[in-house]
A and B are shown apart, each in its own frame.
Chain A
Amino acid sequence: MQPAAVATPFFFYMLSGLTLLSGVLVITRKNPVHSALALILGLLAQAGLYLMLYAPFVAGVQIILYAGGIMVLFLFVIMLVNIERSQKEEQFNRQWVVGIVAAAALGVLFVLVYIKGHDLFPPHSFVPPENSNTQQVGVMLYGQYLFAFEIASLLLLVAIIGAVVMAKKRI
């Protein structure tokens, strides 16, 4: 078999299996640091999935921002609020049955949508050239989506100020 035909299913199943495994680990671990580590693994596997979808810029942004920025923030806060007592208590709340039923209903909804709407989208009709992905994303981001870009930067400014104000001891 040609290497490319075997490689794509192998990598897809490995990466999506890692992502789903890390998702399961995130929601079941007692220790929040272990959950954070599992989430980092999931984010990196998802960056691999983005690479398979011909989106190298989004993969790079995911690694830098999500795995290298947001998860560091999470780990800091876990270290600040980590109390041993909370790991020995009950981990799942009283409504866990209803929660799982609701999530299962959501999952059934997704399955129905995908079964009934299967023919709505063609498998792959647009293969973007991989070597100019960043340039095209840049052109669109600063051309068509310039307003959204500026609003996003304003949003980040508001978030920075809000987080600093809320975490201060005395305002």
Chain B
Amino acid sequence: MVPITTLHYLVTAAALFVLGVIGVLTRRNVVIVLMSIELILNAVNLNLVAFSRIWGLHGQIFAIFVITDAAAEAAVGLGILIAFFRNKETVNVDEVDLLKW
């Protein structure tokens, strides 16, 4: 069998990233869009930790900071969602059009 190199991890991370981008661009449900954003952040984390195996622990530290920021962003994003849901009773992104002409 081919020994597992860094490239394998990078390809996995890239595939996860593309899946997350598809989720963000094609879904209507806001919660699923937010979860796809978490997928993207996870792909970036996997990339960072895969490279930290070659070049030192800085990648892991950055990954920890990314996880922290993902928590903060998820909290704020879901707060916005709740605030909007209280207004308009919908969870679809294309119905968030109060400021449209």
Contact = CB atoms under 8 A, between A and B. Distances in A.
Interface of A: 5-6, 8-9, 12, 16, 19-20, 23-24, 26-27, 29, 32, 35-36, 39, 42-43, 46, 49-50, 53-55, 57-58, 61-62, 65-66, 69-70, 73-74, 77-78, 80-81, 83, 86, 89-96, 98-100, 102-104, 106-107, 110-111, 114, 118, 121-128, 133, 136-137, 140-141, 145, 148, 152, 155-156, 158-160, 162-167, 169
Contacts of B11: 114
Contact of B14 (A49, A107, A158): A107
Contacts of A55: 49, 52-53, 60, 63
Contacts of B3: 8-9
A126 B54 contact: yes
B98 interface: no
A66 B69 CA distance: 11
A137 B16 contact: no
B68 A89 contact: no
A93 B50 CA distance: 34
Interface of B: 1-12, 14-23, 25-29, 31-32, 34-36, 38-39, 42, 45-46, 49-58, 60-61, 63-65, 67-76, 78-83, 85-86, 89-94
Interface SS of A by simple majority: helix
B69 A152 contact: yes
A10 to B, nearest CB: 9
A158 B72 CA distance: 9
Contacts of B51: 121
A27 B33 CA distance: 8
